[in-house]
C-alpha cells in the first residue's frame, strides 16, 4: 500500500474520532436530531410501535405480514412476534430501514408516508399519531421488546354486546354525527398498567350487509339481522354480538316443549321476530324420517302417523326411529365422511375393519367421548382394531394435529402452522404443541403395496420420540392455552409406568373429553344440530372461535351442558333437539324476517344429500340400485366408501373423503343436478320399469285418484291438493296413452323441488 493511502486512512480515523467524542460530550446529539418532532413520553416497541404498524396495515397478510413478505421485507402477521419484527426492522438488510445518522430519512418513516416510492402506497400521514410514535421510538434509541411485555396481557371490550338502537353521545374522531354504538377497548398488563387501545385495535364485521364498523370502533346498522364484530389487538381477540332488531320487541305465545324453546323465544322477542307455527303432521314425519334415518316414510307409515291421536305421537316416533336399522346406516355414513373412511388409505381389509368399528359404535350408541378416546389412543393391528385407521389416514404429525382439532374440537388450526392465528389466540406453539402428542408413535406397514393390497398395518406407542415423526418445530406437548395436558393414567404398556412412559395421547384424550372442556361438547352439539337443520348454531360447523359466535348462544351453551351431563349420549342429543318446538316449526319459503334462517324461527328448505335422494327415488319408484361389487338391494346410505362408481352420487355432491372439512360434501343445488334429473336415462327406466310401483298400479287398473294418493304419500308424505288433482286429470285427459300420462306425472313429481328438498 502506498504511503499516501496510509495518510488518508489516518486522516479519516482522526475525523471520526473527533466526531464520536463530540457526540459523547453533547447529549443533544444523541437525540438523533428529532428535537422538533412530536414526542411520545414512553415508547415501548411491543405495546406502541407494533400496534401503530398494525393499524397502518404494514404487517397485514396482504402486505409485509405475508408469509413471504413484500419487496424483500417481512414482518410477523399483525405483530404477533415482536422479537422477529425488531430484528427485521433494525438488523436485516444491514439495517437499511433505520438510519441512525439521519433518522428522519429512515425508510421506516419515509416509505409508509409516501415520501419515497412505496409499493403499498401512502399508509400514514407525516403528521399522524402513527408517525409520531415511530419518530419517538427512533428518538429514544429504538429500544427492543422485553420478554414480559405481553405476559398476562388481555383485552376487554365494552359493551359486550350491541343493539343498534342508540345514539353515540361522544362520537370518536371522524364519526361525529353518526348514530350507532361506539366500542371501547381496554388492555391490561401483568405489571398492573392498563390503557385505552380503542384507536389501535382492528375491527371487522362478519356480515357487512347487516352492520359496518369504522376504524375507530363505531358500529352502524345497514339492515335488520344479527352478526358479530371481531376485535383484535396484539394477538388477543374478542367478539361482540351485534343485533339490529326488526322492530319493537315482539310478543307471541310459544309454549315450550323443552328447555331449548324458552331460550330461543327470549332472543326472538328481543330481536323483534316471530317464529313460524308448528309444522303439520305430514311435514313433520317426512322431516324427522329424513333427518334421523335418511329415509322417506312409506305411505303406510305416513297414514298411520296422521291417524294417531295420541298427544305424544311425535316423541314416540322419534324414539322409534332412533332404534331403526337405518339409523345405523345413516349415522355411520356421516361418521365415515367425518373420519374419511376410504380404501385409498386403508386397503379393503382395513376399510372393513374401520367401518365395522364405526357401525358397531353407532349401533351400541357408544358415548362420543368414548369413541374419541378409542380413536386417539388406538394401538395394535388395523385388521383387528378398527380405530387404528385414524393413524393411517393422516400419518404426518402436523396433519394429525389439524384433523384432531377440526374434527373433535371444531377448531381450524391450519393457518397457525406458519403464523399466529389472525382471528384467534392460537399460536404456532399451540399448533406444534398439539402435533407433539403424536410424535411417540411407531407405525408398521408391509411396504409400498401394503395399503393397497391388504398388508398388515399396525401402530404402537413408544417410550421415545420417533425421529420420523418429529414436528417441524420442537415444542413440548400442550393443549390450547395450557402448558401441559392433564395427567393421564399409565397405558397398558406398564401399569407402574412413570411419567416419561405415559403415552402422551392419553393426556390429550383425557383433556379433550372432559365435561368442562370448552370445545368438545359444543363442537359435537353444533355438528348434530347442523345435521338436523342444515346449518349450525355456529356456521361453518368446524370453525368455532371467539370471532365466530353462535347465532343463539344461550341455546348452544345449554344444549352442550346437557349433552355433557348425559355422558355425551348422541341419541339423547338428537332426541332433545327433535322434541323441541324449534325443530318442529313449519318451513317458510319467502321469509320476511330472519331471511337466512340463522335464528331458526322457521325451517329453511335444504336439498337432500346425494345418497338420501338416490334412495328416495328408488323407494318411490320401488326399484333397487345396482352398485358394482355390492349385493343387490344395497342402499346408497350403506355404501362403504366413495370408490363405488355412481354418476348420480358424483353429480349430487357425494364427498371424496379427502378432507375432514364439512364443506367437502356438495350441498348446493346446481344446473348439472337439474339436468340430470330432467334427462337421466336411469331415472326414466325406473319410472317405466314393469315391476315398479307405477306400472304395477296402472296394469292393475287402479283408480286414478288412488294412484295419485299413493304417489304423493310416498314422495311427499301428503295427499295431493285440489289444484294438483286437477293438474293430474288434465294431464291424463290430454295424453293418448294412460301409461305415458302417469309416467309424465311421476317424472314431474320426482323433479319438483318439494321432493328433492327437506322441509
Q: pTM for the complete prediction?
A: 0.85
DSSP track, 212-270? EE-TTSEEEESSSEEEEEEEEETTEEEEEEEEE-SSSPP------SSHHHHHHHHHHHH
Q: Are strands 380-381 and 458-461 parallel, antiparallel or unpaired?
A: antiparallel
Q: Are 757 and 652 in contact (CB under 8 A)?
A: no
The cell numbers describing 508, all together, are 390429550
Give Dmax (Cα) for the chain.
Answer: 123
The 3 state secondary structure assigned to 702-721 is CCHHHHHHHHHHHHHCCCCC
- Cell numbers linked to 678: 330432467
Angle in degrees, 0-180, between the axes of helices 671-679 and 738-751, rounded to the nearest 10:
160
Q: What is the distance between the alpha carbons of residues 544 and 559, in angstroms, rounded to a whole number?
A: 16
Q: What is the DSSP letter of 454?
A: T
The pair phi, psi for residue 340, each rounded to 5°, is: 60, 50
DSSP character at residue 467:
G
As to burial, measured by CB atoms within 10 angstroms (0-12 exposed, 13-18 middle, 19+ buried), residue 626 is exposed
Tell me the C-alpha to C-alpha distance, in Å, between residue 669 and each of 105, 536, 604, 620, 687: 58, 19, 14, 21, 23
Cα 315-316-321 angle, rounded to 5 deg = 100
Residue 161 contacts residue 243 (beta carbons within 8 Å): yes
Q: Would you say 665 and 657 are in contact if contact means Cβ atoms under 8 Å apart?
A: no
- Rounded to 10°, the helix 397-404/428-435 angle is 110
- Residue 523, class by beta-carbon neighbours within 10 Å (0-12 exposed, 13-18 middle, 19+ buried)? buried
Local structure of 125: helix, strand or coil: coil
Q: CA 662 → CA 8, 426, 542, 658, distances in Å?
A: 74, 21, 7, 11
Phi, psi at residue 204, to the nearest 5°? -150, 135
The answer to whether the beta carbons of residues 51 and 197 sit under 8 Å apart is yes
pLDDT in tens, 113-129: 888 888 888 888 888 88
pLDDT at 473: 73
Residues in the chain with pLDDT < 50? 1-40, 167-172, 177, 447-454, 483-500
Q: What are phi and psi of 238, to 5 degrees?
A: -145, 155
Bin 142: left if φ > 0, else alpha if -120 < ψ < 50, else beta.
left
Other residues' Cβ atoms within 10 Å of the Cβ of residue 551: 22
505: cell is: 395421547
Beta carbons of 198 and 187 less than 8 angstroms apart:
no
Terminal-residue alpha carbon distance, the chain: 93
In sequence order, what are the residues at sequence separation of 6 or more whose Cβ sits closer than 8 angstroms to the Cβ of residue 507?
437, 477, 484, 485, 486, 487, 488
- Nearest in space to 613 (alpha carbons), one of 659, 657, 670, 653: 653
Distance CA 174, CA 177 (A): 9
Single out the residue of 420, 421, 426, 413 nearest to residue 480, CA to CA.
426
For 403-435, b where at least 16 C-beta lie within 10 A, e where not — what string? Answer: bbbbbbbbbbbebbbebbbbbbbbbbebbbbbb
User: Grid coordinates standing for 701?
Assistant: 287398473
What Rg, from alpha-carbon coordinates, does the chain have? 32
Cis preceding-peptide flag for 37 (omega within 30 of 0) = no
Determine the angle formed by the axes of helices 570-578 and 313-321, rounding to 10 degrees. 150
Tell me, letter by letter, the H, E, C secondary structure of 166-228.
Answer: CCCCCCCCCCCCCCCEECEEEEECCCCCEEECHHHCEEEECCCCCEEECCCCEEEECCCEEEE
What does residue 137 show for φ and ψ, rounded to 5 degrees? -65, -40
Question: Which DSSP string do the residues of 5-71 spell out, in sequence order?
Answer: HHHHHHHHHHHHHHHHHHHHH-GGGGGTT-TTS---SS--IIIIIHHHHHHTTTTSTTTTTSTT-BT
Alpha carbon distances (Å) from 404 to 367, 391, 393, 503, 660: 18, 11, 12, 17, 9
Q: State the pairing for strand pair 225-233/236-244.
A: antiparallel
Check residue 115 and report its DSSP letter: S
Q: Which helix (H) or strand (E) holds 390?
A: helix 390-393
Residue (of 240, 233, 154, 145) closest to 420 by Cα position: 233
DSSP 405: I
Confidence at residue 482, expressed as pLDDT on a 0 to 100 scale:
62
Among 55, 35, 21, 26, smallest CA distance to 104 is for 35
CB 157 within 8 A of CB 183: yes
Report helix angle 281-293 to 325-339, nearest 10. 50
Residue 671, burial from CB neighbour count under 10 angstroms (0-12, 13-18, 19+): exposed
Amino acid at each position: 500500500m502506498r504511503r499516501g493511502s496510509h495518510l488518508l486512512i489516518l486522516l479519516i480515523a482522526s475525523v471520526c474520532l473527533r466526531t464520536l467524542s463530540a457526540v459523547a460530550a453533547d447529549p443533544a446529539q444523541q437525540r438523533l436530531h428529532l428535537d422538533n418532532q412530536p414526542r411520545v413520553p414512553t415508547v415501548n416497541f411491543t405495546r406502541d410501535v407494533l400496534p401503530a404498524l398494525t393499524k397502518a396495515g404494514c404487517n397485514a397478510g396482504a402486505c409485509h405480514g405475508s408469509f413471504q413478505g413484500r419487496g424483500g421485507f417481512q414482518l410477523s402477521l399483525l405483530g404477533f412476534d415482536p422479537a422477529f419484527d425488531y430484528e427485521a426492522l433494525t438488523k436485516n438488510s444491514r439495517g437499511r430501514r433505520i438510519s441512525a445518522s439521519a433518522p428522519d430519512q429512515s425508510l421506516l418513516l419515509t416509505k409508509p408516508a409516501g415520501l419515497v416510492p412505496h409499493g403499498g402506497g401512502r399508509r400514514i400521514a407525516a403528521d399522524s399519531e402513527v408517525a409520531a410514535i415511530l419518530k419517538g421510538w427512533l428518538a429514544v434509541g429504538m429500544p427492543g421488546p422485553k420478554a414480559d411485555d405481553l405476559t398476562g396481557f388481555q383485552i376487554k371490550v365494552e359493551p359486550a354486546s350491541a343493539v343498534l338502537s342508540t345514539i353515540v353521545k361522544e362520537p370518536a374522531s371522524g364519526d361525529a354525527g353518526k348514530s350507532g354504538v361506539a366500542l371501547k377497548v381496554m388492555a391490561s398488563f401483568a405489571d398492573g398498567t392498563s390503557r385505552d387501545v380503542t384507536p389501535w385495535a382492528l375491527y371487522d364485521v362478519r356480515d357487512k350487509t347487516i352492520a359496518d364498523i369504522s376504524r375507530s370502533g363505531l358500529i352502524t346498522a345497514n339492515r335488520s339481522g344479527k352478526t358479530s364484530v371481531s376485535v383484535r389487538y396484539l394477538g388477543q381477540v374478542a367478539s361482540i354480538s351485534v343485533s339490529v332488531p326488526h322492530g319493537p320487541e315482539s310478543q307471541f305465545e310459544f309454549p315450550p316443549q323443552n328447555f331449548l324453546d324458552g331460550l330461543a323465544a327470549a332472543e326472538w322477542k328481543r330481536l323483534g321476530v316471530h317464529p313460524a307455527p308448528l309444522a303439520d303432521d305430514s311435514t313433520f314425519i317426512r322431516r324427522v324420517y329424513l333427518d334421523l334415518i335418511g329415509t322417506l316414510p312409506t305411505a303406510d307409515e305416513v297414514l298411520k302417523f296422521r291417524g294417531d291421536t295420541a298427544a305424544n305421537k311425535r316423541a314416540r316416533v322419534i324414539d322409534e326411529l332412533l332404534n331403526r336399522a337405518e339409523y345405523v346406516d345413516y349415522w355411520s355414513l356421516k361418521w365415515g365422511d367425518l373420519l374419511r373412511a376410504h380404501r385409498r388409505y386403508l386397503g379393503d381389509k382395513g376399510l372393513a375393519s374401520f367401518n365395522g368399528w364405526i357401525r358397531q359404535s353407532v349401533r351400541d350408541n357408544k358415548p362420543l367421548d368414548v369413541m374419541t378416546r378409542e380413536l386417539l389412543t388406538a394401538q395394535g393391528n388395523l385388521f383387528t382394531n378398527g380405530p387404528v385407521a385414524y393413524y393411517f389416514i393422516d400419518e404426518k404429525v402436523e396433519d394429525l394435529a389439524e384433523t384432531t382439532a377440526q374434527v373433535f374440537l371444531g377448531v381450524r388450526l391450519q393457518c397457525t402452522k406458519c403464523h399466529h392465528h389472525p382471528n384467534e389466540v392460537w399460536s404456532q406453539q399451540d399448533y406444534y404443541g398439539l402435533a407433539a402428542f403424536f410424535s411417540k408413535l411407531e407405525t408398521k406397514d408391509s411396504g409400498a403395496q401394503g395399503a393397497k393390497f391388504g398388508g398388515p398395518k399396525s401402530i404402537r406407542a413408544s417410550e421415545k420420540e420417533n425421529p420420523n415423526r418429529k414436528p417441524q418445530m420442537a415444542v413440548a406437548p400442550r393443549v390450547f392455552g395450557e402448558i401441559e395436558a392433564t395427567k393421564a393414567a399409565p397405558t397398558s404398556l406398564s401399569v407402574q409406568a412413570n411419567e416419561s412412559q405415559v403415552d402422551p395421547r392419553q393426556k390429550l384424550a383425557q383433556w379433550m373429553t372432559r365435561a368442562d372442556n370448552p370445545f368438545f361438547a359444543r363442537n359435537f352439539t353444533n355438528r348434530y344440530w347442523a345435521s338436523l337443520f342444515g346449518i349450525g348454531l355456529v356456521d361453518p360447523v368446524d370453525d368455532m372461535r371467539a370471532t365466530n359466535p353462535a347465532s343463539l348462544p344461550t341455546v348452544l351453551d345449554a344444549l352442550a351442558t346437557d349433552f355433557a351431563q348425559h355422558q355425551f349420549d348422541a341419541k339423547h342429543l338428537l332426541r332433545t333437539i327433535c322434541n323441541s318446538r324449534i325443530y318442529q316449526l313449519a318451513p317458510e319459503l319467502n321469509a320476511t324476517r330472519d331471511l337466512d334462517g340463522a335464528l331458526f324461527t322457521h325451517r329453511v328448505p335444504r336439498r337432500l344429500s346425494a345418497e338420501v335422494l338416490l334412495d328416495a327415488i328408488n323407494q318411490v319408484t320401488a326399484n333397487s340400485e345396482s352398485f358394482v361389487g355390492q349385493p343387490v338391494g344395497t342402499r346408497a346410505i350403506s355404501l362403504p366408501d366413495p370408490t363405488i362408481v355412481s354418476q348420480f352420487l358424483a353429480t349430487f355432491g357425494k364427498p371424496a373423503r379427502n378432507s375432514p372439512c364439512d364443506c367437502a360434501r356438495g350441498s348446493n343445488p346446481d344446473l348439472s343436478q337439474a339436468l340430470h334429473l330432467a334427462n337421466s336415462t336411469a331415472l326414466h327406466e325406473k319410472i317405466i320399469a314393469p315391476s315398479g310401483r307405477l306400472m304395477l298400479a296402472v296394469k292393475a287398473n287402479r283408480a286414478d285418484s288412488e294412484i295419485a294418493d299413493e304417489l304423493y304419500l310416498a314422495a311427499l308424505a301428503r295427499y295431493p291438493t285440489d289444484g294438483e288433482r286437477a293438474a293430474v286429470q288434465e294431464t291424463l285427459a290430454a295424453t293418448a296413452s294412460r301409461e305415458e300420462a302417469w309416467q309424465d306425472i311421476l317424472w314431474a313429481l320426482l323433479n319438483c323441488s318439494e321432493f328433492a328438498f327437506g322441509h
